[in-house]
């Protein structure tokens, strides 16, 4: 599925909920699903700064696409991370670098995008794009 | 005088606001307090009718402004019962006040292997400046421990006061645990050994009576914005003997007496420490805020907040799985807690949706979180305008959190 299609899918999923409570319950459900990251990556090196909850993010390049895995100690954050992984994981570095993430706004989670919000959704997105940039540079140099 | 909560609430325009269509419940007062209309008006009036630079002009506005500014100093000095008004220096807040003392006093008296004493419940503002200073001077930072309840053991403290101790820095009230520390007794103990004491009073001003003369502290630091006043202004109280001994913190205009191209002599206190144009609007706003507190009655405010603390503590303890951090016998209106093993960020995100402003995280006191082995807490902190009904709403929100994450 293309990144746009996945985003459409998420928007449709969230459109069934019309109040914040249900949206958050859905996010929490997503957050409760099994940790996606290998335990050995839950170290300082993989920690993203600027988050009130801790977020570990790992990226690997496989067959031209980037596979992300992540975890957080807060459930809502984990739900948001899972959303991002659904969107970004399995995409090429170029797609990720150019990605438009306006779907966050459309599913009513815009408040998490504000730079002052300490859950660091912005930091996560930035880190994912940085990984993409790094992998792109690396493959260009090979 | 009666404490009229409805009148008080109507004096704070922001309390009429709705957040997510619900009435704002503001329980983040330890971070900053809301401002009464009187303070907002004071600032507006200042810019509408009085604005001019102070201490510099012979013209009319500059004169009345200088008078207003110095009257504010006098009033604020009286409010905290400082022995002399020139011992009150305006800074931009507690953080700057502490940094000023660390730089201009600490740096002058501290030598290699000397010791600085702080507590393990410090806000980073009263910890990091001392860490940096000790690092620079190859001196040692020694940390006064406290019990799981959040109480400092005075005999341990007394034993830590040694020949090498050059300064003690203590929080009047812990911003995470709420403990009201026995600072008067601790100052007395330090003075027995001729050790000066700085008190971080960020959480005390306007919540309980701050009586500098009675405390006999060497330095007292606080912020206007945590006491119903504007941001960007704070106080450093310092004893005259220290202030005269200290070098200026910043240099520039206002703080000099005589300047040639190669030499400068410095002005007297307090001006020696007030380089540049001060935050006049904020000083006047702070004066208005403290006036408001005085008129409302500080003792009544203290009693009201204590009441809320007792009520809130009882209510929270009735919820299964709520753990309160900070159980000192002497405690201010600050309630830190966790719900089951729910992350404070998760709890805070949901509580926010009820229109309730609370703080989550480590509250700039990471060593406190480390002591309890937690990444952060949820913190509700009270001010004069809070009510029991608001605490009931908080309880509702907590029950919702439990339902969602349980
Ligand atoms: C105990 C304590 N000290 C110092 C500070 C710093 O105050 P300010 O940010 O106003 O300088 C705070 C503020 O949170 C505090 O609670």
pLDDT digits 0-9 by tens, B112-143: 999 999 999 999 999 999 999 999 999 999 99
Please report the pLDDT score of residue B31 as a whole number: 97
CA B38 centroid distance within chain: 21
Mean pLDDT of B344-361: 94
Facing residue for A74 by CB, picked from B20, B346, B404 = B346
Predicted confidence at residue B260, as pLDDT, reads: 81
pLDDT tens-digit series, residues B53-108: 988 778 999 999 999 999 999 999 999 999 999 999 999 999 999 999 999 999 99
Is the C-beta atom of B123 inside 6 A of ligand 1?
Answer: yes
How close, in Å, is residue A77 to chain B by CA atoms?
A: 8
The predicted structure's pLDDT at residue A97: 94
Give CATH 3.90.1150.10 domain extents, chain B: 5-31+297-404
Share of chain B above pLDDT 90, in %: 90
Is residue B337's pLDDT more than 80? yes
Contacts of A91 (CB under 8 A, 6+ apart): A3, A65, A66, A99
Residue at A142 is within a domain: no
- Statement: residue A117 has pLDDT above 60: no
Q: How far is the CA of B273 from the centre of ligand 1 (A)?
A: 20
Q: How far apart are CA A23 and CA A16, in angstroms?
A: 9
pLDDT at B375 over 90: no
Instruction: List residues bridging with A69 in a β-sheet.
Output: A58
- List the single residue in B with minimal CA-CA distance to A120: B345
Residue A23: give the domain boundaries.
3-136
Q: Is the CB of B176 under 6 A from ligand 1?
A: no
The string over B116-130, giving b where at least 16 C-beta atoms fall within 10 Å of a residue's C-beta and e elsewhere, is bbbbbbbbebbbbbb
Give B331's DSSP letter.
B
Atom of ligand 1 nearest to the CA of B364: 14
Measure the CA–CA gap between B19 and B228, rounded to whole angstroms.
Answer: 21
Average pLDDT on B192-214 reads: 98
B223 CB under 6 A from ligand 1?
A: yes
Q: Which of A4-18, B111-125, B140-154, B282-296 is the least confident region?
A: A4-18
Inter-chain CB proximity B20 and A20 less than 8 Å? yes
**Which residues of B are tagged catalytic?**
364
Residues B202/B221, Cβ–Cβ less than 8 Å: yes
B404–A74: do the CB atoms touch at under 8 Å?
Answer: no
Best probe of the B interface among A19, A20, A32, A53, by most B CBs < 10 A, is A53
C-beta atoms of A52 and B376 within 8 A: yes
Judged by CB atoms closer than 8 Å, whether chains meet at B349 and A25 is answered as: no
Fold of the CATH domain B41-294: 3.40.640
- Asked whether the beta carbons of B201 and B175 are under 8 A apart, the reply is no
C-alpha to C-alpha distance for B255 and A96, rounded to whole angstroms: 55
Any chain A CB within 8 A of the CB of B405? yes
Is ligand 1 within 6 A of the CB of residue B97? Answer: no
Residue nearest to atom 15 of ligand 1 (CA): B202
Window 295-354 of B, Cβ < 8 Å to A: 342-346, 349-350, 353
- CA B94 to ligand 1: nearest atom: 11
Q: Do A25 and B404 touch (CB under 8 A)?
A: yes
Query: Which residues does chain B have within 8 Å of residue A74's beta carbon, measured at their own beta carbons?
Result: 343, 345-346
Give the tens place of pLDDT for each residue, A45-101: 888 876 678 889 999 999 999 999 998 888 988 898 889 999 999 999 999 999 988
User: Could you tell me what percent of chain A has a pLDDT over 70?
Assistant: 91
| E strand spans, B190-315 | 197-200, 219-223, 234-238, 256-259, 264-266
The mean pLDDT of B21-47, rounded to a whole number, is 98
Residue ranges, comma separated, of all CATH 3.40.640.10 domains in chain B are 41-294
- Over 80: is that where the pLDDT of A36 sits? no
Compute the average pLDDT of residues B309-319.
98
Closest-CA residue to B239 (of B294, B167, B172) = B167
Distances A43 to A69, A120, B166, B251 between C-alpha atoms, Å? 13, 18, 40, 45
Q: B141 with B193: CB under 8 angstroms?
A: no
Q: How many beta-carbon contacts under 8 Å exist across A and B?
A: 40
Distance B66 CA to ligand 1 centre (A): 28
CB contact under 8 A, B343 and A24: no
Q: How far is the CA of B95 from the centre of ligand 1 (A)?
A: 6
Q: What is the pTM of this model?
A: 0.92
Query: Could you give the 3-state DSSP secondary structure of residue A92?
Result: coil
* CATH number for the domain harbouring residue A46: 3.90.1010.10
List for chain B the helix, strand, coil content (%; round to 5): 45, 20, 35
Q: Residue B1's pLDDT band (boundaries 50, 70, 90)?
A: low
On whether residue A141 sits in a domain, the answer given is no
Binary contact (B353, A118; C-beta < 8 A):
no
Mean pLDDT of chain B, nearest integer: 95
Which two structure tokens, joined as six digits, stand for A39?
């335990």
User: Residue B360's closest chain A neighbor by CA?
Assistant: A52
Q: Give the tokens for residue B76.
A: 């604020």
| Ligand 1 midpoint to CA B12 (Å) | 22
Residue A67's φ and ψ, nearest 5 degrees, are: -110, 120
> How many CB atoms sit inside 10 A of residue B180's CB?
21
Domain count, chain A: 1
What is the predicted pLDDT for the residue at A35? 61
Classify residue A114: in a domain, yes or no: yes
A75 within a domain of the structure (yes/no) = yes
Residue pair A86/A4 in contact (Cβ under 8 Å)? The answer is: no
- Mean pLDDT across B315-340: 97
- CB of B33 closer than 6 angstroms to any ligand 1 atom: no
pLDDT value of residue B121: 96
Domain B5-31+297-404: give its CATH architecture: Alpha-Beta Complex (3.90)
- Active-site residue, from A6, A37, A51, A107: A51
Residue A105 to chain B, least CA–CA distance (Å): 17
> At CA B22, angle to CA B19 and CA B24, rounded to 5?
55
Which B-chain residues 83-142 have CB contacts (< 8 A) with chain A? none
The whole-angstrom distance between A51's CA and the closest CA on chain B is 10
B281 lines ligand 1 (CB under 6 A): no
Which of B8-17, B114-123, B175-184, B244-253 bottoms out in mean pLDDT, i.e. has the lowest? B244-253
Query: Which residue is closest to A77 within chain B, CA to CA?
Result: B346
CB contact B375 to A (< 8 Å): yes
Please give, rounded to a whole number of angstroms, the shortest distance from the CA of B374 to a CA of chain A: 11
């Amino acid at each position: 599925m293309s990144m746009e299609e996945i985003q459409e899918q998420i928007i449709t999923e969230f459109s069934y909920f019309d109040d914040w409570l249900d949206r958050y319950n859905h996010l929490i459900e997503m957050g409760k699903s099994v940790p996606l990251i290998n335990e050995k990556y839950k170290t300082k090196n993989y920690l993203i700064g600027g988050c009130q909850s801790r977020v570990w993010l790992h990226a690997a390049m496989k067959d031209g696409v980037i596979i992300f895995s992540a975890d957080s100690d807060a459930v809502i954050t984990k739900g948001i991370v899972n959303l991002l992984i659904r969107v970004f994981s399995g995409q090429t570095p170029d797609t990720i670098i150019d990605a438009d993430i306006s779907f966050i706004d459309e599913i009513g989670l815009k408040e998490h995008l504000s730079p002052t919000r300490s859950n660091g959704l912005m930091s996560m997105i930035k880190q994912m794009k940085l990984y993409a940039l790094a992998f792109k540079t690396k493959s260009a140099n090979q | 005088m009666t404490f009229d909560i409805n009148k008080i609430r109507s004096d704070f325009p922001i309390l009429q606001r709705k957040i997510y269509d619900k009435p704002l419940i503001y329980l983040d007062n330890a971070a900053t307090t809301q401002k009464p209309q009187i303070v907002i008006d004071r600032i507006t009036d200042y810019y509408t009718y009085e604005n001019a630079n102070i201490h510099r002009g012979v013209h009319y506005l500059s004169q009345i402004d200088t008078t207003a500014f110095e009257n504010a100093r006098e009033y604020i000095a009286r409010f905290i019962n400082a022995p002399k008004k020139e011992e009150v220096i305006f800074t931009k807040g507690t953080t700057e006040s502490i940094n000023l003392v660390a730089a201009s006093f600490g740096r002058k008296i501290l030598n290699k292997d000397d010791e600085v004493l702080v507590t393990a419940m410090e806000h980073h503002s009263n910890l990091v400046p001392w860490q940096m200073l000790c690092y620079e001077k190859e001196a040692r930072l020694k940390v006064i421990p406290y019990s799981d309840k959040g109480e400092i053991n005075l005999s341990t403290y007394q034993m830590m006061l040694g020949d090498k101790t050059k300064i003690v820095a203590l929080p009047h009230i812990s911003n995470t645990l709420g403990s009201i520390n026995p600072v008067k007794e601790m100052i007395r103990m330090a003075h027995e050994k001729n050790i000066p004491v700085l008190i971080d009073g960020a959480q005390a001003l306007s919540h309980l009576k701050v009586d500098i003369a009675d405390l006999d502290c060497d330095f007292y630091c606080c912020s206007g914005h945590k006491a119903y006043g504007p941001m960007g202004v704070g106080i450093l109280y310092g004893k005259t003997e220290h202030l005269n001994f200290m070098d200026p913190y910043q240099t520039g205009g206002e703080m000099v007496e005589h300047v040639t191209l190669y030499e400068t002599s410095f002005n007297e206190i307090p001006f020696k420490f007030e380089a540049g144009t001060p935050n006049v609007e904020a000083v006047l706003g702070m004066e208005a805020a403290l006036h408001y507190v005085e008129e409302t009655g500080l003792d009544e405010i203290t009693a009201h907040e204590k009441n809320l603390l007792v009520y809130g503590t009882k209510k929270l303890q009735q919820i299964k799985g709520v753990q309160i951090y900070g159980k000192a016998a002497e405690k201010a209106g600050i309630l830190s807690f966790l719900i089951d093993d729910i992350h404070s960020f998760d709890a805070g995100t949901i509580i926010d949706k009820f229109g309730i402003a609370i703080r989550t995280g480590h509250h700039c006191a990471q060593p406190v979180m480390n002591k309890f082995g937690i990444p952060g807490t949820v913190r509700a902190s009270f001010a004069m305008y809070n009510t029991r009904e608001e605490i009931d709403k908080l309880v509702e929100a907590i029950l919702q959190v439990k339902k969602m994450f349980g």
